[in-house]
Amino acid sequence: MVWRKQSRYEQIAGYGARNHIVRWVALDDDARGWPDEQRHRLVLINGATGMTASDAYDLGLRLQALQ
């Protein structure tokens, strides 16, 4: 299955492209495969501890920037 061989970035960006989503931000605990020019779309969280208040604040800022 192609999906399993893709990085998370490829999965997310592919979904967005197929569904014509152009403004988006992703929460993920895996930064592998994210191109430098797309890192502004990623809020990297710690998979062991989950989303922190700092992550939530970062997410809020990025969502505001989409408007």
Best CA proximity match to 64, nearest among 32, 40, 44, 48? 40
Task: Give the chain's domain count.
Answer: 1
pTM for the complete prediction?
A: 0.84
Q: How confident is the model at residue 1 (pLDDT cuts 50, 70, 90)?
A: low
pLDDT, one tens digit per residue, over 7-43 is 999 999 999 999 999 999 999 999 999 999 999 999 9
Q: Which domain holds residue 61?
A: 2-66
5 SS3 class: helix
Instruction: Map 8-51 to HEC letters.
Output: HHHHHHHHHHHCCCCCCCEEECCCCCCCHHHHHHEEECECCCEC
